[in-house]
């Protein structure tokens, strides 16, 4: 009995070594950690720029991680990535990729192949953030990082802090893939620019890249981005500028009634104002007009581009599947013909900063 038990235990223990990942022993110092990747298209080739974390210059805790960039090219994404390994001479570890920067030209040609490549590799995380560069990806990744020495970490942090100020969307790659594949909604990504900061090119994320299918169709500025994000989801932040006064959004709610021909947008939003910038009902009326015209302008722009980035089609599908089936085939055209009415209800709370 004892021998049988021992044999069973031995077999079970041996079987354990076959479980996935078991033979995957790698010491952490043998890995080259990749925090970000950039894709550009140059002619028929894929230009890949890989940021790798390198040894800190100072010893001990004072040593902040540094990064270096590796350029590689290939006729396919896989070839470009494989050429990368030849250059770096170490195992490139992609599980900690935080951002993927896609150059404007590459985005215009279609981003699905990048999403597909990342989703197909088990080493990439589905929470990584794709960003569209308003230029080439290489330029953006070479721009100076202000806080850390690794520009991908910095881009990721800028995106995270954007969540409250509604200047750019923060979309993980799995949600982008869902938006592209799902009917009745289009994908959006944050848009990054190079800005001059005290004489040095620095990266800035503000605005939205709009996709129709997987191709870049247009961009939105910061204000338009805020209204688009309100239409897509929660209203928990952002600002509305009326003349010289700035109103900060505390909370709000959007409700969309989507039909096959009409869309009614209702938006109630509570804002805070400083004393002096608030003039009772007049300010609220002016704010209402401003918000309504801004949202109407945004929707008009989206309709012109044929890009249902707010997901009116998806809402129609969820609310009335039968109606959706009739228009699903030609939704992009139908979207351009939608009659959209906007009703905003702003309310302003005044906060005193100090008593005079």
Partner 1 sequence: MQSFPEKISAVMRENVERMKEYFHLDKTVKYHFFSAGKAECCVVFIDGMTNSALINEYVIKPAAQASLKAAPEERLAHLEKDVVQAGETSQQESWSELLQALVRGDSLVFCDGCARALIVGSKGYERRSISEPDGEVVMKGPREGLTEVLLSNIAMLRRKVCSEKLRFEFFELGETTKTACCICYIDGTADARVLAELRERAGRIRIDGVLDSNYVTELIRENRFSPFRNVGTTERPDIVAAKLLEGRAAMLVDGSPVAITVPHIFIEHLQSNEDYYISFYFAGINRMLRLIGFLLSVSIAPVYIAMVTHHHELLPTTLLVMISHARQGVPFSSLSEALILLLAFEVMREAGSRMPSQMGQTLSVVGALVVGQAAVAASMVSAPMLIVIAFSGVTGLISPKLKSVVIIACVGLILMADAMGMYGYVMGMIWLAANLASQRSFGVPMLASVPLMEAGDGEDSFVRAPFNRMKKFGRFLAGEKHGKN
Compute the C-alpha angle 155/160/164, nearest 5°. 135
Residue closer to partner 1 by CB (options 3, 353) is 3
Q: Is 31 in the site for partner 1 (CB under 8 A)?
A: yes
Q: Is 63 in the site for partner 1 (CB under 8 A)?
A: yes
Closest approach of Cβ 124 to partner 1, in Å? 10
276 by Cβ neighbours in 10 Å (0-12 / 13-18 / 19+) ranks as exposed
Cβ proximity of 284 and 344 under 8 Å: no
Applying CB under 8 A, the span of 39-47, 50-58, 269-277, 323-331 interacting with partner 1 comes to 50-58
Q: Which of residues 148-177 bind partner 1 (CB under 8 A)?
A: 153
Closest approach of Cβ 173 to partner 1, in Å? 15
Q: Is 62 in the site for partner 1 (CB under 8 A)?
A: no
Q: Which of 3, 4, 26, 339 binds partner 1 (CB under 8 A)?
A: 26
Applying CB under 8 A, the span of 19-27, 110-118, 301-309, 326-334 interacting with partner 1 comes to 19-27
Q: Is 331 in the site for partner 1 (CB under 8 A)?
A: no
Q: Which of 4, 25, 62, 86 binds partner 1 (CB under 8 A)?
A: 25
User: What backbone torsions phi and psi does residue 134 show, to the nearest 5 degrees?
Assistant: -85, 55
Cβ proximity of 23 and 37 under 8 Å: no
Closest approach of Cβ 145 to partner 1, in Å? 14
Task: Kindly report each contact of residues 335-339 with a partner whose C-beta sits within 8 Å and lies 24 or more positions away, as own/partner.
Answer: 335/302, 335/303, 335/306, 335/308, 336/303, 336/304, 336/306, 337/261, 338/261, 338/262, 338/263, 338/299, 338/303, 338/312, 339/261, 339/262, 339/263
Residue closer to partner 1 by CB (options 31, 69) is 31
Q: Is 95 in the site for partner 1 (CB under 8 A)?
A: yes
Q: Which of 1, 2, 5, 22 binds partner 1 (CB under 8 A)?
A: 22
Applying CB under 8 A, the span of 16-24, 198-206, 257-265, 342-350 interacting with partner 1 comes to 16-24
Residue closer to partner 1 by CB (options 63, 213) is 63
User: What residues does 42 pair with on adjacent strands?
Assistant: 45
Which residues in this chain contact partner 1 in the complex, by CB under 8 A? 16-17, 19, 21-22, 24-29, 31, 33, 35, 53, 55-56, 63, 65, 93, 95-96, 98, 123, 125, 153
């Amino acid at each position: 009995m004892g021998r049988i038990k021992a044999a069973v235990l031995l077999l079970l223990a041996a079987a354990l070594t076959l479980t996935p990942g078991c033979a995957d022993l790698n010491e952490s110092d043998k890995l080259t950690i990749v925090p970000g990747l950039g894709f550009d298209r140059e002619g028929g080739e894929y230009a890949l720029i890989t940021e790798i974390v390198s040894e800190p210059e100072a010893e001990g805790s004072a040593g902040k991680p540094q990064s270096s960039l590796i350029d590689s090219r290939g006729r396919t994404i896989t070839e470009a990535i494989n050429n990368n390994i030849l250059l770096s001479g170490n195992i490139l570890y992609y599980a900690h990729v935080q951002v993927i920067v896609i150059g404007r030209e590459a985005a215009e040609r279609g981003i699905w192949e990048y999403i597909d490549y990342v989703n197909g590799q088990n080493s990439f995380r589905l929470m990584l953030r794709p960003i569209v560069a308003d230029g080439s990806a290489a330029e953006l990744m070479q721009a100076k990082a202000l806080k850390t020495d690794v520009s991908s970490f910095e881009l990721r942090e800028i995106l995270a802090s954007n969540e409250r100020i509604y200047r750019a969307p923060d979309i993980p790659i799995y949600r982008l893939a869902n938006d592209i594949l799902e009917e009745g909604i289009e994908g959006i990504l944050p848009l990054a620019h190079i800005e001059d900061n005290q004489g040095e090119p620095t990266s800035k994320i503000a605005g939205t890249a709009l996709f129709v299918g997987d191709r870049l169709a247009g961009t939105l500025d910061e204000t338009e981005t805020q209204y688009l994000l309100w239409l897509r989801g929660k209203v928990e932040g952002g600002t509305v500028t009326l003349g010289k006064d700035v109103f900060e959004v505390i909370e709000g709610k959007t409700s969309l009634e989507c039909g096959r021909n009409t869309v009614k947008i209702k938006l109630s939003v509570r804002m805070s104002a400083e004393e002096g910038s608030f003039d009772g009902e007049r300010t609220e009326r002016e704010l209402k007009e401003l918000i309504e015209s801004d949202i109407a302008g945004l929707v008009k722009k989206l309709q012109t581009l044929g890009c249902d980035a707010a997901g009116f089609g998806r809402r129609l599908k969820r609310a009335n599947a039968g109606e959706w089936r009739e228009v699903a085939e030609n939704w992009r055209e139908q979207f351009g013909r939608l009659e959209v009415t906007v009703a905003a209800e702003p309310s302003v709370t005044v906060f005193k900063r100090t008593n005079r």
